[in-house]
Amino acid sequence: MDENYNLIPHGVNFQDAIFADTLENRRMFSSLFQFSNCSHGQNATVFSSDWEVQEDTRLLCSSVQSALFEEEDRVKELQHKVATLEDRHKQLKIRIKKLKRSLRQAKKNSRHLEVINRKLNEKLSSESKQITHVNSFKPKHSHSTYLKV
Domain boundaries, the chain: 1-59, 78-124
Q: How far is CA 39 from CA 11, 23, 139, in A?
A: 22, 11, 121
Q: Cα(102)–Cα(109) distance, rounded to whole angstroms? A: 10
Residue 6 φ/ψ region, left for φ over 0, alpha for ψ in the -120 to 50 degree band, beta for the rest? beta
Residue 135 predicted with pLDDT over 70: no
Percent of the chain with pLDDT over 90: 36
> Which of the four pLDDT bands, split at 50, 70 and 90, describes residue 63?
confident
Q: Cα(12)–Cα(8) distance, rounded to whole angstroms? A: 7
Mean pLDDT of the chain: 75
> Which of the four pLDDT bands, split at 50, 70 and 90, describes residue 12?
low
* pLDDT tens track for 67-99: 888 999 999 999 999 999 999 999 999 999 999
- For residues 128-140, average pLDDT: 63
Residue 44 predicted with pLDDT over 50: no
Residue 11 φ/ψ region, left for φ over 0, alpha for ψ in the -120 to 50 degree band, beta for the rest? left
The answer to whether residues 35 and 26 touch, using CB atoms and an 8 Å cutoff, is yes
* Amino acid identity at 26: R
